């Protein structure tokens, strides 16, 4: 039987291992899904990263904008009504590219 103390240590270790993933790793994972034509997964990862975009370096933020826009563009259909979102993100990518 596992003692409560060992269980607590295990829980803390598990939390720390998941917290060690950086925002840049999440961006890379989203890009990997996009490149593998797994657009729904890419969108899920990129959307989860959205609240923490300001933690990305400016050049990574532009990459985020581009891949988020292209993912929305690829998914735009009657089920996913995200074409205006795609234009928004791609516009941000274009503007950010000029700045970086």
Q: Each residue's pLDDT tens digit in the chain (100 positions)?
A: 455 554 454 555 544 444 445 899 999 999 999 999 999 999 999 999 999 888 899 999 999 999 999 999 998 887 778 788 889 999 999 999 887 7
Is this prediction's pTM over 0.85? no
Looking at residue 18, its pLDDT comes to 47
Burial 54-63 (b: 16+ CB within 10 A, else e): eebeeebbbb
Q: What per-residue confidence (pLDDT) applies to 5?
A: 57
| Residue-level pLDDT at 17 | 43
Return the pLDDT at 15.
Answer: 47
pLDDT at residue number 2: 52
Summary count for the chain: helices (H), strands (E): 5, 0
The secondary structure element, H or E, covering residue 7 is helix 4-19
The per-residue pLDDT for 7 is 47
Q: How far is CA 19 from the centre of its chain?
A: 15
The single-letter DSSP state of residue 3 is -
């Amino acid at each position: 039987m596992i003692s409560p103390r060992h269980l607590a240590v295990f829980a803390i270790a598990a939390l720390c291992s998941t917290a060690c993933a950086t925002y840049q790793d999440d961006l890379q994972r989203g890009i990997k899904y996009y490149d593998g034509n797994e657009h729904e997964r890419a969108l899920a990862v990129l959307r989860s990263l959205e609240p923490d975009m300001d933690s990305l370096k400016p050049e990574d933020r532009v990459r985020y904008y581009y891949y988020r826009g292209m993912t929305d563009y690829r998914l735009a259909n009657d089920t996913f009504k995200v074409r205006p979102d795609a234009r928004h993100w791609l516009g941000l990518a274009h503007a950010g590219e000029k700045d970086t």
